[in-house]
Structure 1
Amino acid sequence: MPVLTRYLEYDTKGNSEIIDITDDVIRSVSGSGINNGIVTVFAAGSTVAVTTLEYESGLIHDLQQALERIAPKDIEYKHNERWHDGNGHSHVRASLLGQSESFPLIDGSMLLGTWQQVIFIDLDNRARSRKLVVQIVGE
């Protein structure tokens, strides 16, 4: 069973910046020669997340506000006491969302709902350069 690995790189602003990576992932899959299988998108890091969302300004704002309510920036985190980097909330948010998503690949097309986009969220409290892995497994 063939496995193809590709990489996507982004310079981010941090602070829960949400980036629509759908087209980049689809481009990674197209031309792979794999028609049926699984596409996994993985972000290496403990302050990042990959998920899906209807990528529109209202919902982007709503998700960012929900993250702030669930894991606020301005409360005490033991992580901050140990490392003094102020990003304890970033780690908690990333743990709740997760660093990967997998999608069926059917007849050469990645299966997504009509209003479903793949998003990458940099939850850290500073700008970073990030590398994501797109892995296609199938036949």
Structure 2
Amino acid sequence: MKVITDKITVSTKGFNDIIDITDQVQGIVKKHQVKNGNVTIFVSGSTAGVTTIEYEPGLLKDLPEAFERIAPMDKRYHHDSRWGDDNGYAHVRASILGASLTVPFSDGKLLVGTWQQIVLVDFDNRPRTRNIVVQIIGE
């Protein structure tokens, strides 16, 4: 059994920026020549999350609109009062979405659905450089 840790670095725009990282994750699995196992994708930071969606224009609008209903940007959050950075909504959204995702792979290929992509969602209120840890466990 191998455990390999790698990373992806992406620049984001913030404000619900959704970035498809499927090909980058697949490339890391291929690079390390592990045939079967699981890959965990983890974003470092408390204002971004990782999930899967069908990466298409409708959902690229639907997902941010859903988060706006759940944790609106224009609401005042206790976090904002404490730190003055006005991104309390981003912390709440990231907590709901989650910081990690595990995807199985077989014969070196991610076992995602035909219309399923791995995405990073950056909720912060400014552009960021995001470090995404990609850890492979397999053989």
Q: TM-score range by the shorter chain?
A: over 0.9
1:7 aligned residue: 7
Structure 2: stretches of 5+ with no match in the other structure: none
**TM-score, reference length from structure 2:** 0.98
Task: Give the letter for the 2:21 counterpart.
Answer: I
1:30 is paired with a residue whose SS is helix
1:64 aligned residue: 64
1:68 is paired with a residue whose SS is helix
Structure 1 position 76, deviation (Å):
1.8
Task: Give the letter for the 1:81 counterpart.
Answer: S
1:68-87 counterparts in 2 under 5 A?
Answer: 68-87=68-87
Compute the RMSD of aligned alpha carbons: 0.7
1:1-139 counterparts in 2 under 5 A?
Answer: 1-139=1-139
Question: How far, CA to CA, are the matches of 2:102 and 2:76 in structure 1?
Answer: 34
Question: How far, CA to CA, are the matches of 1:111 and 1:70 in structure 2?
Answer: 30
Structure 1 position 9, deviation (Å):
0.5
Structure 1: stretches of 5+ with no match in the other structure: none
Structure 1 position 33, deviation (Å):
2.1
2:31 is paired with a residue whose SS is coil
Task: Give the letter for the 1:18 counterpart.
Answer: I
1:114 is paired with a residue whose SS is coil
Cα displacement string for residues 12-31 of structure 1 (whole angstroms, at most 9, x for unaligned residues): 11001000111111111103
Question: How far, CA to CA, are the matches of 1:66 and 1:11 in structure 2?
Answer: 23
1:72 is paired with a residue whose SS is coil
Runs of 4+ in structure 1 deviating by more than 4 angstroms, as ranges, are none
Question: How far, CA to CA, are the matches of 1:35 and 1:107 in structure 2?
Answer: 5
Cα displacement string for residues 21-74 of structure 1 (whole angstroms, at most 9, x for unaligned residues): 111111111031211111110001100100000000111100010011100001
